[in-house]
Amino acid sequence: MREIAAQFEKPVLLFSGGKDSIVLVHLAVKAFYPARIPFPLLHIDTGHNFQETLDYRDELVERTGAKLYVGSVQASIDKGRATEEMGIGASRNKLQTVTLLDTLEELKADAAIGGGRRDEEKARAKERFFSHRDAFGQWDPKNQRPELWNLFNGKKNMGEHFRVFPISNWTEMDVWQYILMENIPMPSLYYTHKRRVFMRDGIWLAEAPFMELKDGEEIVELDVRCRTIGDISCTGLNLSTADNLEDIVKEVAASRVTERGGRSDDKRSEAAMEDRKKEGYF
């Protein structure tokens, strides 16, 4: 965190309301204490967020005194910068990339801090802490700089920026244990709650006005919780009655499926994440 603040002029912290970005904010608060976090938070709002996510975000901003910018995917669609996907299985996940790159440019941000971890997914296993993105915001695996010892090279030319992933080496278990140890308040979605859901391709998805149902898909009300949080359109919910952090940790430890195994945006193809990153995604 301190290295980022020292090497870049206008870093922003990408905040999604998910556990990884929540941990990042907590780490930033600790890193600069007693001063405030010297960079703002940026939330890319798809318009398809769970309401709980938005509420949590606003409360966090107030609690930490951090500055918040919101990039709106709906606004990008309205401006004609992005095209809405239609039909069954449509999602605004990919559209986020356009909004993200446009907003970063507007803010003249030279570094975007994200909560990506290497253990999350195959394409992230090779990601650097300081990941260079070219003038088009794109990631070229062949251009990434070697990172030795604790020395990070954040040098860049005009128009280029970096994505930085401070918790690259943390596993899902590490994140939850840290949350537990530091007693960080979490969005209610992570805890068990009753929700109207339907099953599609082996995953429970949440009911929402913009979610089209296929024939045969039925809505039921179940006790569920999220293990990872994305848009409503691509976040799988797990059947669970875990209502406190200790139980969540036990569930994670006993789990047989990776955290992102419940994300339909990764399932689209084997190299889904890699392709999205090449375009400029997180």
Question: Which spans of this chain sit near other proteins (rule: CB under 8 A)?
Answer: 2-3, 5-6, 30-36, 118-119, 122-123, 125-126, 141, 144-151, 153, 155-157, 168-169, 171, 173-174, 177-178, 180-181, 246, 249, 255-258, 261, 270-271, 274
Are the C-beta atoms of 194 and 223 separated by less than 8 Å? yes
CA dihedral over 59, 62, 63, 67, signed as positive or negative:
positive
Compare residues 156 and 195 and give the one whose CB is closer to other proteins: 156
Q: Which residue lies nearer to other proteins by CB, 24 or 123?
A: 123
Question: 185: cis peptide before it, omega within 30°?
Answer: no
- Reported as type and span, the H/E element at residue 195 is strand 193-200
Closest distance of CB 208 from other proteins, Å: 25
As measured in angstroms, the least distance from the Cβ of 60 to other proteins is 18
Q: How far is the CB of 274 from other proteins (least distance, A)?
A: 6
Strand order in the sheet with 130-133: 68-72, 41-45, 11-14, 111-113, 161-164, 130-133
Of the candidates 132, 113, 107, the one whose C-alpha atom is nearest the C-alpha of residue 25 is: 113
CB of 33 to other proteins, least distance (A): 5
Q: Which of residues 5 and 13 has its CB atom nearest to other proteins in the complex? A: 5
CA 281 → CA 51, 114, 166, 253, 261, distances in Å?
23, 11, 17, 29, 19
Give the distance from CA 13 to its chain's centroid: 11
CB closer to other proteins out of 51 and 150:
150
Cβ at position 256, least distance to other proteins in Å = 4
Residue with smaller CB distance to other proteins, 123 or 205: 123
